[in-house]
């Protein structure tokens, strides 16, 4: 690193000192904390993003958001060259940067890292970092810190893409690095045109929705997603979208609204009630990378019937499986190879959903908790489908499978409305699906459109969708601990290997119910051990969870709550 570069870093870093006594860690969600603590961290992540651009010779993204956290929080994370999350290999460096106690320590870390990674900082590559933020009041000041971090690398350019959903920024990074147009309008046009294509391919014999069922009502969490969905909705036909709790409506971000609140509490968000009985309802989270559907039952008293990420995954898997069955008919095998499909879940997926997916004949894989693990596993398949129960997930298509679909559809003209076999239509549907779904990251807007068009394709109401299977009763608890690393797990976090004897005790309690399932795992963000239990009745699930929480306390000597 030359003298000019070192002087620039020292000079700019001297304006951003980390808060004393605060240690931050980069995880699936990036860095998150009270916004007042983050200016130095966001500045340093700007440096990291510029170095990542140099390393990958690609455009990189930096998003300022705290997703479903309270409005006074904020956060920052990287969109990597693929459009996905920051390479796990770089996470320790991110932690070290954020916690370096002085500009001199920061410069030493950077010098050591660029030498180790073989990164040239001599200006032989045009570094560009795309910046986005959500609607939080603290976002603009943190964006300025990010810009200064990026431009502290000589020749680096920070491009402000404005207020965006998190998935929009990830999509833009992926598109830019594929040589595609990558403005917000390009995002809207790709989603809307793919949606129209799938609508045009709905079989004529399938029932279309009418009356109230043409409508979906969306809880925007008082965040950015509601505004963007209104803009997207202007390009759609055949779907009426009513948005409530948009950031323009004056409500508090994520306060009594949003996917995280609805999924965890299983209650109506603000501004929803008995008037919504019979209508498909959806909640987005604060930065619109999650969605869950819900039903307002008659005389609900505030309670809802939740249609969560497991059900969304099952709907997507069912549709994809149907299209592949058409595609794989003998007469339609030309130019298409047999797709290897994988469904990826975590141990928190309800056991009933896993059983349903296996009954469909699908290959189900499990990973540790965290979207970065699910996404990585999904890349191993021609079609990888993953969703967490919280509503975060997507569908990935391999390049080779996309190429085979394109070869199959090259001679088909959808505009003429003259289509060939079911296999040809299926190839068109899958190709449109690959463009509608956001393959960079979970995206509530693209996910919503895909759910809606599949329900139209099936001729299903939300109630029929919800009847695919019935969730097993479950219960989650947490046990406070002094050191969460005392619990060590394996097998996608479902089996305890330390402390010795704890897993055997858990097995003994679990065996008392014919549908019992239970696991414990250390939290990734706080000093607690989390307990998840399923059983044949809610009472049995509660009892199992409580018993296992006591076991954790007995083995580790901590207090449960």
pLDDT tens for 453-502 read 999 999 999 999 999 999 999 999 999 988 888 999 999 999 999 999 99
pLDDT of 557 strictly over 70:
no
Q: What is the pLDDT of residue 482?
A: 81
Position of tokens 């009472």?
Answer: 539
Tell me the C-alpha distance between 146 and 357, whole Å. Answer: 43
Terminal-to-terminal C-alpha distance of the chain: 51
Mean pLDDT score, 28-51: 95
Compute the CA torsion angle 323, 82, 287, 466 (nearest 10 deg). 20
CA dihedral sign, ordered 548, 551, 552, 553: positive
Count of C-beta atoms within a 10 Å radius of residue 505:
17
Are 403 and 367 contacting, i.e. CB atoms less than 8 angstroms apart?
Answer: no
What Rg do the C-alpha atoms of the chain give, in angstroms?
24
pLDDT tens for 213-232 read 679 999 999 999 999 999 99
14 is catalytic: no
Which of these is catalytic: 40, 53, 58, 67?
67
67 is in an annotated binding site: yes
Q: What is the pLDDT of residue 211?
A: 44
Query: Counting every residue, how long is the chain?
Result: 561
Q: How far is residue 326 from each of residues 38, 149, 330, measured CA to CA in Å?
A: 52, 52, 9
Tell me the C-alpha distance between 111 and 129, whole Å. Answer: 21
Are 206 and 460 contacting, i.e. CB atoms less than 8 angstroms apart?
Answer: no
Are 432 and 413 contacting, i.e. CB atoms less than 8 angstroms apart?
Answer: no
Q: How far is residue 453 from each of residues 212, 257, 284, 356, 449, measured CA to CA in Å?
A: 16, 25, 18, 22, 6
Per-residue pLDDT band for 561 (boundaries 50, 70, 90) equals very low
525 is in an annotated binding site: yes
pLDDT tens for 348-406 read 999 999 999 999 999 999 999 989 999 999 999 999 999 999 999 999 999 999 999 99
Q: What is the pLDDT of residue 481?
A: 84
Position of tokens 């969703």?
Answer: 387
523 is in an annotated binding site: yes
The candidate with the shortest Cα–Cα distance to 454, out of 228, 202, 140, 210, is: 202
Position of tokens 């046009």?
Answer: 189
pLDDT of 418 strictly over 60:
no
Per-residue pLDDT band for 411 (boundaries 50, 70, 90) equals low
- H helix runs in 247-398, sequence order: 259-265, 309-327, 351-359, 371-378
Are 531 and 518 contacting, i.e. CB atoms less than 8 angstroms apart?
Answer: yes
Tell me the C-alpha distance between 108 and 207, whole Å. Answer: 65
524 is in an annotated binding site: yes
- The domains found in the chain, sorted by start residue, are 3-163 (3.40.120.10), 474-556 (3.30.310.50)
Query: Which strands sit side by side in the sheet containing 291-295, from one edge to the other?
Result: 240-246, 215-223, 280-284, 291-295, 305-307
Average pLDDT, whole number, for the chain? Answer: 92
530 is in an annotated binding site: yes
What tokens were used for 139? 């976002």
What tokens were used for 249? 């409506």
388 is in an annotated binding site: yes
Q: What is the pLDDT of residue 24?
A: 92
Are 350 and 535 contacting, i.e. CB atoms less than 8 angstroms apart?
Answer: no
Ranking 287-291, 450-454, 526-530 by mean pLDDT, the lowest is 526-530
Instruction: Output phi, psi for 313, to 5 deg.
Output: -55, -45
Whole-number percent of the chain with pLDDT over 90: 84
What tokens were used for 494? 């479902």
Are 424 and 408 contacting, i.e. CB atoms less than 8 angstroms apart?
Answer: yes
Q: What is the pLDDT of residue 141?
A: 98
Are 168 and 442 contacting, i.e. CB atoms less than 8 angstroms apart?
Answer: no
pLDDT tens for 123-181 read 677 899 999 999 999 999 999 999 999 999 999 999 999 999 999 999 999 999 999 99
pTM of the model: 0.93
pLDDT tens for 338-351 read 899 999 999 999 99
């Amino acid at each position: 690193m030359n003298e000019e570069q070192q002087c620039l870093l020292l000079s700019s870093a001297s304006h951003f000192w980390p808060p004393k006594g605060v240690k931050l860690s980069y995880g699936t969600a990036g860095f998150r904390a009270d916004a007042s603590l983050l200016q130095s961290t966001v500045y340093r992540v700007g440096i990291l993003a510029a170095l990542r651009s140099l390393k990958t010779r690609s455009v990189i993204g930096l998003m300022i958001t705290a997703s479903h956290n309270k409005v006074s929080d904020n956060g920052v994370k990287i969109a990597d060259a693929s459009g996905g999350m920051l390479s796990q290999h770089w996470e320790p460096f991110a932690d070290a940067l954020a916690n370096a106690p002085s500009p001199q320590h920061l410069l030493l870390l950077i010098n050591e890292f660029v030498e180790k990674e073989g990164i040239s900082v001599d200006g032989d590559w045009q570094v560009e970092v795309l910046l986005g933020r959500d609607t939080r009041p603290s976002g603009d000041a943190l964006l300025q810190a990010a810009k200064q971090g990026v431009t502290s690398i000589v020749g680096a350019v920070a491009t402000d893409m404005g207020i965006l959903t998190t998935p929009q920024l990830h999509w833009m990074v992926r598109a830019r690095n594929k040589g595609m147009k990558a403005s917000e309008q390009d995002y809207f046009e790709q989603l809307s045109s793919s949606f129209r294509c799938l609508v045009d391919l709905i079989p004529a014999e399938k029932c279309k929705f009418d009356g109230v069922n043409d409508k979906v009502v969306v809880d925007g969490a008082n965040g950015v997603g509601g505004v963007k969905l209104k803009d997207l909705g202007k390009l759609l036909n055949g779907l009426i979208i009513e948005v409530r709790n948009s950031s323009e409506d004056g409500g508090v971000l994520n306060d009594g609204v949003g996917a995280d609140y609805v999924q965890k509490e299983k209650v109506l968000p603000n501004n929803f009630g008995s008037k919504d009985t019979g209508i498909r309802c959806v909640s987005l989270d604060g930065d619109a990378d999650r969605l869950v559907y819900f039903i307002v039952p008659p005389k609900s008293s505030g309670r809802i019937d939740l249609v969560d990420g497991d059900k969304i995954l099952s709907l997507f898997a069912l549709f994809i499986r149907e299209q592949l069955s058409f595609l794989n008919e003998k007469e339609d095998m030309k130019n298409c190879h047999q797709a290897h499909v994988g469904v990826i879940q975590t141990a928190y997926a309800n056991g009933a959903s896993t059983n349903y997916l296996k009954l469909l004949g699908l290959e189900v894989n499990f990973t540790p908790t965290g979207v970065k693990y699910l996404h990585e596993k999904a890349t191993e398949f021609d079609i990888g489908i993953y969703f967490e129960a919280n509503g975060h997930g997507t569908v990935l298509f391999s390049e080779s499978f996309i190429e085979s679909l394109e070869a199959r559809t090259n001679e088909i003209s959808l505009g003429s409305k003259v289509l060939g076999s079911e296999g040809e239509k299926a190839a068109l549907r899958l190709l449109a699906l690959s463009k509608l779904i956001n393959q960079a990251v979970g995206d509530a807007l693209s996910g919503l459109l895909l759910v809606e068009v599949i329900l139209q394709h099936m001729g299903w109401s939300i109630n029929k969708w919800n009847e695919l299977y019935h969730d097993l009763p479950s219960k989650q608890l947490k046990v406070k601990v002094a050191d969460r690393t005392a619990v060590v797990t394996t097998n996608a976090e479902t089996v305890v290997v330390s402390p010795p004897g704890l897993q055997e005790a858990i097995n003994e309690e679990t065996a008392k119910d014919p549908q019992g399932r239970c696991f414990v795992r250390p939290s990734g963000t706080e000093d607690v051990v989390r307990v998840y239990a399923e059983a044949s009745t809610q009472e049995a699930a509660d009892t199992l969870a409580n018993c296992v929480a006591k076991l954790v306390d007995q083995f580790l000597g901590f207090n449960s709550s």
